[in-house]
């Protein structure tokens, strides 16, 4: 694949812009036979094997990725929307190439896999793989999601028991149950859900006469949010993690 085409697929602009980046000496490629230092390439049409390619654009290193799979540690006060109404969009936390990766759909770049409320923090997945988004969002795909919940009133065994046995929400007569639930401390509840109803954690906690004061998603499937990923920070998912986040109950 031509270098200008590789850059285009990775979101660095139009083909003309990508060709210009190469011709102006802003692109370097890591070539195994040349040692560890990247080599500046100025021929936009130069051919490379895209899979496994590492390159540097304007001083920033990038791996080639046919599809982007990311993990973001969402901070409070951000919206999971391309057109936020009140708070800044989570997409402003990502570098431009990830937001501009070309898509056949009208919206370009990576998209959030599900949403977290503006005041909720923690693990959020983003990708430009539509099939992955559909699979992860399907009600039939019971991927466990673990939430760390700070509550207003002291917890007791009765509340935890009700959350495990099922509570009725106002939009569905069928009881909704937590897949797992434990009182970590007097005001810290750890709850695992396999569904994604609107404001589900908050509404379930309200149904047992308590109130959510803080909400943080700590894991999805078999992957936990790394302790060293700061609020607002992101990183690529590894190949193993892409499989593990899809692990069902």
Buried b (16+ CB within 10 A) or exposed e, 130-167: eebbeebeeeeeebbbbbbbebeeebeeebbebbeeeb
- What is d(CA 64, CA 3) in angstroms, rounded to the nearest whole number? 11
Q: Report the catalytic residues.
A: 117
Q: Which residues contact 82 (CB under 8 A, 6 or more apart)?
A: 89, 91, 107
Q: Can you tell me whether residue 21 is helix, strand or coil? A: helix
Q: Which residues contact 180 (CB under 8 A, 6 or more apart)?
A: 144, 146, 164, 190, 191, 192
- What is d(CA 243, CA 248) in angstroms, rounded to the nearest whole number? 11
- Residues paired with residue 127 on neighbouring β-strands, in sequence order: 69, 111
Q: Using the structure block, give the residue that is written with the tokens 């992860």.
A: 136
């Amino acid at each position: 694949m031509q270098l200008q085409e590789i850059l285009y697929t990775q979101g660095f602009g139009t083909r003309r812009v990508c060709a210009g980046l190469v011709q102006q000496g802003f692109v370097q490629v890591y070539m195994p036979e040349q040692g560890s230092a990247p080599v500046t390439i100025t021929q936009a049409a130069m051919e490379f094997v895209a899979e496994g390619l590492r390159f540097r654009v304007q001083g920033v290193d990038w791996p080639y990725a046919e599809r982007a799979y990311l993990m973001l540690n969402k901070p409070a006060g951000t919206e999971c929307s391309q057109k936020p109404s009140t708070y800044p969009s989570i997409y402003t936390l990502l570098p431009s190439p990830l937001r501009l990766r070309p898509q056949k759909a009208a919206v370009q770049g990576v998209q959030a896999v599900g949403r977290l409320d503006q005041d909720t923090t923690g693990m959020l997945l983003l990708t430009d793989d539509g099939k992955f988004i559909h699979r992860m969002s399907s009600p039939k795909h019971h991927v466990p999601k673990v939430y760390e919940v700070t509550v207003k009133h002291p917890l007791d065994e009765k509340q935890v028991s009700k959350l495990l046995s099922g509570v009725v929400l106002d939009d569905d007569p069928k009881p909704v149950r937590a897949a797992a639930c434990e009182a970590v401390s007097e005001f810290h509840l750890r709850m695992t859900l396999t569904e994604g109803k609107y404001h589900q954690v908050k509404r379930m906690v309200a149904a047992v006469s308590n109130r959510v004061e803080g909400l943080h998603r700590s894991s999805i499937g078999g992957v936990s949010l790394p302790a060293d990923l700061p609020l607002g920070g992101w990183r690529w998912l590894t190949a193993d993690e892409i499989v593990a986040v899809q692990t069902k109950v």
